[in-house]
Amino acid sequence: MPVDHTSYDPVVRFEEWLLSKAPELRLRIDQARAECGRPSTPYWFLSFVVRPHIEELTRRGDEAQLARFWALLEEIARAGSHSERQSLAETLEEFDIEQHRRWLSPVQQVLAAPR
């Protein structure tokens, strides 16, 4: 029987983890794949899926979901792999930080600081 190497792929594992935390992102992931191609890093998910989702929640004023998604990003900031934390830092640079500052933890503020 062939070995399923995808289970060892950190990008696949990140997608599985993300969907376990936020299954509502499935449609957005499918749309991003159609527009941007296959994901190759955690950055792809954070920039093309999570960031637009957070921006939409901000436009709608959905405080409960915003808190939930910023907490999800905090999990990555505190316990993610080096690649995941670096991808988060790059994605945070894409946000209008002043608009989201109240949601940022101290760890996220350090990651979002200009380099």
For 41-82, the pLDDT digits (tens) are 999 999 999 999 999 999 999 999 999 999 999 999 999 999
Q: How many domains does the chain have?
A: 1
pLDDT attached to residue 2? 46
Rounded to two decimals, the pTM is 0.87
pLDDT attached to residue 7? 61
50-54, 91-95, 99-103: lowest mean pLDDT where? 99-103
C-alpha–C-alpha distance, residues 12 and 6, integer Å: 7
Q: How far is CA 70 from CA 9, 82, 88, 102, 108, in A?
A: 25, 19, 11, 10, 9
Q: Give me the domain span that covers residue 86.
A: 5-112
